[in-house]
Chain A
Amino acid sequence: MKLLKTLSRIPNFLWINLAMIIIFAMISDRYMTVHNMINILQQGSVLLIVSAAMTMVILSEGLDLTLGAVMTMAGIVSVLALRAGWSVPMAVIFGILSGAFMGALTGTLVAIYKMPPFIATLGMQGVIYGFTLAFTNSAAIFTSNPDFIVLGSKIGNYIPVAAIFAAIIFVAVWAILHHTKFGRYTVAIGGNEAGTRLSGVNTTFWKWFVYVFAGIVSAIGGIILAARLEAADPIVGVGWEFDAIAATILGGTSFTKGKGDVSGTVLGVLLITVLRNGMNVVGTPTIWQPALTGTIIIFAIAFQVWMSMREDARR
């Protein structure tokens, strides 16, 4: 019930989404097809997974620019493990653990050494990409293990496995935020870290744990992406953290106050995915796509920020 209420409260740019869908549908008759809708679902799933992780971090008044790099690394670790003869479950778990490990390192810098998240995670991003390039000799590693590739496939040609994972992760993050101590502390740290510490909460630990959690979740996203591409690419994750931040902010989560919810993030993910997919389907020249999508996303964020400022002023 609370979920529905939260969703209904953020209708701000749903109509932007609708407008975009209508425009794309009018330009191309290949747009409103079942095939393309499944495509959107497929493409949006991984972004939703990473964005859910980013939402947790931003709610704690943090920022994690390593998430794209962590995705990349988890995919590489899993694929390398497969090629080394590991079983699929073991390889996947190993990939997820690598994400947890990187999250733990990042969290140590931010929570224990109190480095500003922007600098700490930007630095870690460089470190992780450095390792992925070294591990792969800067070339994609392919895999054809059918048990692994199934993670990026579709059930009965319709439902992407990624979408199922995304749904599970979304519900899990929502439940964590609303019904667990971990979620409560995350938001409290974002809302008032000093006050939360004075309430006897071990804010250092929970802040650290937010980054570990984000590392685990984005590693799952990275592994699914590698399965879909049937390859681990050393730079596949570049830019995902920006999309995840954009989706989070578009979803009404505030950078500074511990205000927001992962249910809004779904709408942000939808907007970005519809945009990127539509550009492709209607045949926008590839070289112009990043400029156009970037511009539209920035305008959408400006609109969202303006709306929430107006809302604050009315109180």
Chain B
Amino acid sequence: MGNSEYLLEVKNVSKVFPGVKALDNVSFDLKPGEVHILLGENGAGKSTLMKVIAGAYSPDGGELIIDGQPAANLNPRKAQDLGVGIIYQEFNLVPYMNVAENIFIDQLPVKHFFRIDHARMHREAKEILASLNMNVPTTAKTMDISTAQQQMVEVAKALTHKSRILIMDEPTASLTDREIDQLFLTIRELRAKGMGIIYISHRLQELKEIGDRVTVLRDGKYIGTRNLAEVTIESLVTMMVGREVGELYERVDVTPGEEVLHVEKLSSKAVGLHDVSMNLRRGEIVGLAGLVGSGRTELVRAIFGADRHDAGQVTIFGENMKGSAPKDSVRNRVGLLPEDRKRQGLALILSVAENTLMASLDKIFPGGLVNARKEKDLVDGYIKSLRIQTPSGSRSAQYLSGGNQQKVVLAKWLATESEIFIFDEPTRGIDVGAKREIYGFMNRLKQKNCAVLMISSELPEVIGMSDRIFVMREGSIVAEVPHDEATQEMIISYAMGADVAPARRSAADGARPLPKADA
């Protein structure tokens, strides 16, 4: 073990991919006992830098120094041995194995030469989890525990490798506020033990709460490192985007028109929805707030016909959608922009053009033959009007950034001439610049008298954009809040239930709490 001041020094590292300079002369360092935040828009080079440090990519220039020792020719195994632990956004857990087995997956304790020592494995797993104040049963299968708990298991896994450097890629992306608090407690504990934590995040609100220092990257270049205590969030945003960002949410006023979507007492045992009633009118953006797991995604999937429901009625443009499948909803001018763009919104291997016209081939080419020229003209039109950053329509969708992928999904529904747009977490994993654009498109849809239903876990977003907000809890809608009365505290208290925040409930005078359905 070296006696350097730094756990990790990255000096002038570059990494080139065909056609892109992903990292251009980037430097970064990490001290023991600090949380160093890596900030930047998507495509800024954060992930590449992270993978270089973890040994997944070898840099084309520059050097890495770990514990004062130059670390050349890293590979993932070697980086792990040098004390680098990494928790990717997508966890590497085996769903059918239990928590303890996952924690010790690559170093299962053995007795009598080959028998797995279950007693010792669970005992040690419990010790590690307890040392982090983590409350996860070691015998539970990882597929049965919550996302937050899965993340804890990943942290514990990293600790078994005696990691001193822990890289976390957007660890709060799929956690609820309460789970985030728990995670931050854990991170502070790790910091107190002298670990260095590299924390990648998009959420500006949480930077000051958890970070000590922050390094900003932009377009693969190093922009600067600051002490978080000494900077404002606004100045960081300016560093990130290289320009001033004004108010993120801009509201346009449109008088709502006819009702286009009506949901009456919708229930589903399979996905846990109880007597949900709601509606949506032309010219409005309706927000669907609630904690992760409160049934928001399940509700919109049921509306869209992606999952069956057992009771209740969905009416779209006056048509009863009983027993409908997604194809019926699409025919009826509804478009769903799913939260998981990569797995549900796009076929990543296909081109931008193919994805854009995926839902409208029937409409545009009724004969079933795809006319290449017409296709190109149409797609180029969308690339231009939505400002999709891609060299051409024939580029595979997997190479686009999150924001541009979202635009392709939006283009898909514009191509079908949809009039009801359902956005599920429209800006998750999207950088600030693209966020603004997405909000702009939502407002434009509103002005064109389309109807927008938006699920969002970001309270400023849901309040900033919505004309009305439905709050869900445990599969039911518990409140409908008009825009001008909505506050973050009010929505949180509805979302979490009166027993969680009884004091805040009284603040919600203006809103109409809906009686909770009898379960």
Give chain A's interface residues, CB within 8 Å of chain B. 178-182, 184-185, 187-188, 191-192, 194-202, 257-259, 314-315
Contact = CB atoms under 8 A, between A and B. Distances in A.
Contacts of A195: 338, 343-347
Nearest to B341: A195
Contacts of A182: 368
A198 B369 contact: no
A188 B358 contact: yes
Contacts of B325: 197, 202
Given A195-B343, A257-B349, A201 B358 contact: yes
Contact of B343 (A187, A188, A194, A202): A194
B365 A192 contact: no
B373 to A, nearest CB: 12
Contact of A184 (B348, B354, B416): B354
Contacts of A178: 370
A258 B338 contact: no
A181 B362 contact: yes
B344 A198 contact: yes
Given A187-B350, A191-B347, A198-B336, 18 more contacts: A181-B370, A184-B370, A188-B347, A188-B358, A192-B346, A195-B338, A195-B344, A195-B347, A196-B347, A197-B306, A198-B304, A199-B330, A199-B358, A200-B359, A201-B327, A202-B327, A257-B349, A314-B18
A130 to B, nearest CB: 36
B397 to A, nearest CB: 9
B217 to A, nearest CB: 21
Given A195-B347, A197-B306, A199-B412, A179 B326 contact: no
Contacts of B372: 179
B49 to A, nearest CB: 17
A201 B349 CA distance: 17
Contact of B347 (A192, A314, A315): A192
B330 A192 contact: no
26 contacts: A179-B369, A180-B369, A181-B368, A181-B370, A182-B368, A184-B354, A187-B347, A187-B349, A187-B350, A187-B354, A188-B358, A192-B349, A195-B338, A195-B347, A196-B347, A196-B358, A198-B304, A198-B306, A198-B338, A198-B345, A199-B326, A199-B358, A199-B412, A200-B359, A258-B350, A315-B17
Contacts of A199: 326, 330, 358-359, 412
A178 B306 CA distance: 28
Nearest to B338: A198
B329 interface: yes
Of B18, B327, B348, which is in contact with the most chain A CB atoms at under 10 Å from its CB?
B327
Interface centre among B327, B344, B347, B359 (most CB of A within 10 A): B347
A179 B370 contact: yes
Nearest to A259: B349
A191 B355 CA distance: 11
B349 A258 contact: yes
A200 B327 contact: yes
B361 A184 contact: yes
Contacts of A179: 369-370, 372
Interface string B294-336: 0000000000101000000000000000000111011100001
Contacts of B412: 199
B331 to A, nearest CB: 7
Interface in B435-460: none
B349 to A, nearest CB: 4
Contacts of B370: 178-181, 184
A150 B361 CA distance: 41
B47 to A, nearest CB: 13
